[in-house]
Amino acid sequence: MTLTFDQAVQLDKNDPLAKYKDEFYIQEGHLYMDGNSLGLLSKRAETALNRSLNDWTEHGIDGWTDGAEPWFYLSEKLGEMTAPLLGAKKDEVISTGSITTNLHQMVATFFQPKGKKTKILTEELAFPTDMYVLQSQLSLQGLDPNEHLIVVKSKNGHTLDEDTIIENMTDEVALVVLPSVLYRSGQLLNMKRLTSEAHSRGITIGFDLAHSAGSIPHKLHEWGCDFAVWCTYKYLNSGPGGIGGLFVHEKHHGRAPGLAGWFGSNKERQFDMAHEMTPAETAGAYQLGTPHVFSSAPLIGSLEMFEEVGIDVVREKSLKLTNFLLECLREEQLLGEFEVITPLEESKRGGHIAVSHVEAARICKALKKRGVIPDYRAPNVIRFAPIAFYTSFEDVWKTVQALKTIMDQQEYKEFSNNRNVIA
């Protein structure tokens, strides 16, 4: 066996999170490297979901207030459990909606074009839905997105230059919306710096934490970020269509929601059924309608594990995993053939490693045939996300061995180089 295999065995032996692997359902013979698209089901998430189903069985309508996990307070409870992952106060976080609906809500609430300040600043590598939200919110204000959406360019097609973003924070910009971690390359932006630069120019700033929630620590409150949105079906393992979340800094509490709905009411007043809304004095004010209970419940079980371990320990293992992945790729001399598009500096990357290759689509198909579940992003990117809670160092080693065999034996040539509907 090779040097890296011995290292893997050693790293697993000293891994404080190793015991959590058994808490997850992992398909027999599979190496799951796609936890950044859909995290795996844990037994605790399953138990939490069953508890809510059972509350329905046993309590009917009274499940809202009298169940083992009362549905009426679930979004607030989950917000409180999520807050430590984000460096937020409990009232600054609420579990609700999806990234798309929450971003609509945040832009509707915070984008207030005035005088010269009529533009939104974002970047060209943004996830499509974020772009659509910004374009449609501008249109709703009667502003032409071609003129009022400033899209910062990437120099290499994979990463962004923070200085360039900051140069684009002109006196015409009212709002900046950026990702924390870029979904393709995995680049982690310096949220603290970008927030302080935006604020020094009188600009509001919010972040899409899709790829950092549950993978890296944040200090949203301390940094003073105005708002943030995220999903929980990626690193937070809440399941397909799992509930999203939003953060609104305490300094903005009391600001009227751009989109109002009755679940944004002060909870004591909601059932007065008044036609004049009394919004909550917390991030809860930005909820819309009845919470999606069965898409929220699994998150309780999942977050319990994050509470036990702490996000710093998760991040530490995640970096060890991705460093080890890079080392294995180097050791097997795959780095000439594959270009790593993720920044190598630890402080500049999130939880996955992305590589590019012209044959990426069919290399992924060959990996799947060998039981490795990667993640493909057209046209030529493969993302590997080893997950702190359920990926071992030996899994990483085996993944790279599979890749090596596929390349050496040209196994990918058995497949066509186009993508399937999803991925």
Within its chain, how far is the Cα of 196 from the centroid? Answer: 22
Q: In this complex, which beta carbon is closest to ligand PLP, that of residue 211 or of residue 315?
A: 211
CB of 188 to ligand PLP, least distance (A): 13
Q: In this complex, which beta carbon is closest to ligand PLP, that of residue 210 or of residue 293?
A: 210
Q: In this complex, which beta carbon is closest to ligand PLP, that of residue 98 or of residue 356?
A: 98
Q: In this complex, which beta carbon is closest to ligand PLP, that of residue 197 or of residue 208?
A: 208
Q: Which residues bind ligand PLP (CB under 6 A)?
A: 98-100, 127, 129-130, 179, 183, 208, 210-211, 231, 244
Q: Maximum distance among all alpha carbons in the chain?
A: 71
CB of 241 to ligand PLP, least distance (A): 8
Round to the nearest angstrom and report the end-to-end CA distance of the chain. 34
Do the Cβ atoms of 402 and 417 come closer than 8 Å? Answer: no
Do the Cβ atoms of 224 and 196 come closer than 8 Å? Answer: yes
Q: In this complex, which beta carbon is closest to ligand PLP, that of residue 259 or of residue 277?
A: 259
Report how far residue 35's alpha carbon sits from residue 314's, in angstroms, rounded to the nearest whole number. Answer: 14
CB of 233 to ligand PLP, least distance (A): 7
Q: In this complex, which beta carbon is closest to ligand PLP, that of residue 80 or of residue 130?
A: 130
CB of 333 to ligand PLP, least distance (A): 32
CB of 210 to ligand PLP, least distance (A): 3
Q: In this complex, which beta carbon is closest to ligand PLP, that of residue 245 or of residue 264?
A: 245
CB of 386 to ligand PLP, least distance (A): 18
Q: In this complex, which beta carbon is closest to ligand PLP, that of residue 80 or of residue 208?
A: 208
Phi, psi at 249, each rounded to 5°: -60, 140
Q: Which residues pair with 24 in a beta bridge?
A: 42
Helix H or strand E encompassing 375: strand 375-377
Query: What contacts 57, CB < 8 A, 6 or more positions away?
Result: none
Q: In this complex, which beta carbon is closest to ligand PLP, that of residue 63 or of residue 245?
A: 245
CB of 360 to ligand PLP, least distance (A): 19
CB contact burial 201-230 (16+ within 10 A = b; e otherwise): eebbbbbbbbbbbbbbebebbebbbbbbbb
DSSP letter string, 175-216:
EEEEESB-TTT-BBP-HHHHHHHHHHTT-EEEEE-TTTTTTS
Cα angle, residue 92 at apex, residues 132 and 301 outer, rounded to 5°:
85
CB of 215 to ligand PLP, least distance (A): 12
Q: In this complex, which beta carbon is closest to ligand PLP, that of residue 32 or of residue 233?
A: 233
3-class secondary-structure state, position 384 = strand
CB of 179 to ligand PLP, least distance (A): 5
Report how far residue 72's alpha carbon sits from residue 330's, in angstroms, rounded to the nearest whole number. Answer: 52
Q: What is the chain's percent helix, strand, coil content, to nearest 5?
A: 45, 15, 40
Report how far residue 260's alpha carbon sits from residue 285's, in angstroms, rounded to the nearest whole number. Answer: 8
CB of 98 to ligand PLP, least distance (A): 4
Q: Which residues pair with 385 in a beta bridge?
A: 34
Residue 289 DSSP symbol: S
